[in-house]
Amino acid sequence: MLEEKVIDFTAVKEILDVCLRLDSKGLVNAYEGNVSIKRDGYLYITPASKNKAFLKEEMICILEADSLKQVGGIFPPSSEMLLHTLSYQARPDIAGVIHCHAPYLTAFALCNKPVESKAYPEMMGNFKKIQVAPYGRPGTPAIFDEARELVKKNDVVLLANHGVLAVGKDIWTVMNKTEACESIAKVLTLAEQIGKPVNLSDDECQFFIAK
Ligand SMILES: [Zn+2]
């Protein structure tokens, strides 16, 4: 029986709110995408294969962060839980993780193409370049073996032939970064369709990259 004092309903509520937002922005599809928060020795994570638009409090999985023993939630955790636990191991400074198949970012990931631009100052200033980790089979430790070094230095990483992994100090920051990166990937894709993006000079690019 889970003692009431260890249940952080704030964390559960934050996950539900973030899932609704990700769903409303079209960043998760019916079965894919997972969200977690690590707080006070517990891992709160979305259940496997449930639509993010219809999650309820009791569906959010609660696990002891060290043993990964499930102590709350009526369903098993996401099949990508390893991606979350390994991210927390690699980045002791983070407390939130989102993995999803946001359409534009995932399209870049399928092409194994980093998101980068010399024409978009906000992109350069905020994210420099969103890099691609080599392919690792989803649901296995291989997925993170390939991403570990990039995740240590970057809050948003594309997973080749798969999707995007975003981490940060709190789940709201992670959500905002996921949204912002998806928007950038969309803009760059549209710009390529409309014409040829006009690159800024190297000096001007450097100004933003150095910020
Ligand atoms: Zn995935």
Q: pLDDT 10s per residue in the chain (211 long)?
A: 455 556 678 999 999 999 999 999 999 988 889 999 999 999 999 999 899 999 999 999 999 999 999 999 999 999 999 999 999 999 999 999 999 999 999 999 999 999 999 999 888 888 889 999 999 888 788 888 889 999 999 999 999 999 999 999 999 999 999 999 999 999 999 999 999 999 988 888 888 888 7
List residues, by chain if needed, whose CB lies under 5 Å from ion ligand 1: 163
Site of tokens 């994210």: 127
How far apart are the CA of 47 and the centre of ligand 1, in A?
Answer: 13
User: What sign for the dihedral angle of Cα 83, 84, 86, 90?
Assistant: positive
**Cα separation, 130 vs 67, whole angstroms:** 33
Cα of 101 vs centre of ligand 1, distance in Å, is 6
Separation of CA 83 and ligand 1 centre (Å): 9
Q: What is the DSSP string of 11-33?
A: HHHHHHHHHHHHHHTT-S-SS--
C-alpha span between 200 and 211 (Å, rounded): 16
- Cβ–Cβ < 8 Å for 12, 2: no
Q: Model's pTM, two decimal places? A: 0.93
Two structure tokens written together for 72: 């709350």
DSSP string for residues in 68-122:
--EEE-SSPBPTTHHHHHHHHHH-TT--EEEEE--HHHHHHHHTT--B--SS-HH
Q: What is the pLDDT of residue 35?
A: 97
Taking the centre of ligand 1 as the mean of its atom positions, its distance from the CA of residue 147, in whole angstroms, is 13
